Structure 1
Amino acid sequence: MIQTAVKNLVDEALALNESLYLIDLSISENNKVQVVVDGDTGVPLSECIRISRNINDNLDREEEDFSLEVTTPDIAHPLKVKRQYIKNLNRILKVKNAEEEFEGTLVAADEDKIVLNWKAREPKLIGKGKVTVQKSVTIEYKDIIEAKVKIVF
């Protein structure tokens, strides 16, 4: 199956709703097409159906049989595109880079980097005990190995 043809159909369907964006598109060897879309304010089921129909109605099953699944990203899966970071501002993220792992509130996200803030307990400079300090880290997207939204109950 031609991935570019499927990608063009997905792009065509997404163009009708600018708040939606493609996270992942994969086609397995046995022609299982899996499309993962997200939206700035979530994705209603009706939009998944609309995207699925646009793909299904414009590909010929007589020419090549396929199965199709249009879904939204699972909360347990890592963030993949920059728009997902913007969508998750003010949420707690776990972010891994090559050196360490950070957990903090996502307070900023732009084209190049993200900023996390958190509070930590550190020993006092003078005397016994600990003091709470505000910490912050700026991480460029290219340095992020994995970033996940932390689920808080």
Structure 2
Amino acid sequence: MFYLWDHKYEVYTKRGRKSPLFLSKIDMISKERIEALIDERIQELDKNLYVVEMTISSNNVIRVELDRIDGYVAVEDCMSVSRNIEHNIDREQDDFELHVSSAGLDKPFRHENQYLKNIGKRVKVKLKDTSKIEGELIYFDSEEMQLKDRVKKKIEGRKKKEWVEEIYKIKMKEIKDTKIVISFK
């Protein structure tokens, strides 16, 4: 619970504005309550569905991003989770705005399952030192990930550069973000 100052009740004097004499009381929806409703529906639907991110803003805007380990999230999955939340929260008591969607292709990975799901696919990694590495994700665990890429390198004893397969081992604590590379080839 917190109190909100409403700007439409500001009082102006010759010296400037004065704070209002009262504050509005707003009840926030609990994160645990929403997580329980989401988990309840996911258990009913499919164990391969998981929550990537769930946030509730101070003005009760609820955002839920879902993903699947074994494929893509169906619109029906999002609708089902959304309906379970809507039907179990009283709008008369808790005014809220709800957005349930799949994790977008253009967004960075935020859950370990997203790395596991994308093994074998091309990803772009931004490191905390501002460098970038792109390659095929070939290994992931909670400590590190490995990328494989073909690069042209000068090989000793040869006149021109040749294609060489390079393996990059990256510690997870060095990563700023990871995104899938979208290709239309």
Structure 1 residue 128 corresponds to structure 2 residue 128: no
The answer on 1:139 being equivalent to 2:170 is: yes
- Residue 127 (structure 1) shift: 4.2
Aligned counterparts, 1:66-145, within 5 A: 66-99=96-129, 100-145=131-176
Q: Structure 2-normalised TM-score?
A: 0.78
Amino acid in structure 2 at the alignment position of 1:14: I
1:31-70 residue pairs with structure 2 within 5 A?
31-40=60-69, 41-70=71-100
What secondary structure, in the 3-state scheme, does the structure 1 residue paired with 2:37 have?
helix
Match of 1:14 among 7, 29, 42: 42
Instruction: Describe the SS at the equivalent of 1:117.
Output: strand
* 3-state SS, counterpart of residue 106 of structure 2: coil
1:66/1:119 CA distance change after superposition, 3 Å: same
Alignment gaps of 5+ in structure 2: 1-28
**Cα distance, 1:115 vs structure 2:** 1.2
Deviation at 1:128, TM superposition (A): 2.2
Residue 177 of structure 2 aligns to which amino acid in structure 1? E
Q: Return the alpha-carbon distance in structure 2 between the equivalents of residues 37 and 127 of structure 1.
A: 51
Deviation >4 Å, runs of 4+: none
SS state of the match for residue 43, structure 1?
coil
Q: What displacement does 1:139 show? A: 1.8
CA deviation map 1:39-69 (0-9, x unaligned):
1111111111111111111111111111111
Aligned to 2:31: 3
User: Scaled by the length of structure 1, what TM-score is found?
Assistant: 0.93
Q: Which runs of 5+ in 1 are unaligned?
A: none
Query: 3-state DSSP class of the match of 1:152?
Result: coil
Residue 77 of structure 1 aligns to a residue whose secondary structure is coil
The amino acid across from 2:60 in the alignment is: N
Shift of 1:77: 0.5
Pair member with larger Rg: 2
Q: Name the SS of the counterpart of 1:30 in structure 2.
A: coil
1:10 aligned counterpart, secondary structure: helix
Q: How many residues align?
A: 153
Percent identity between the aligned chains?
31
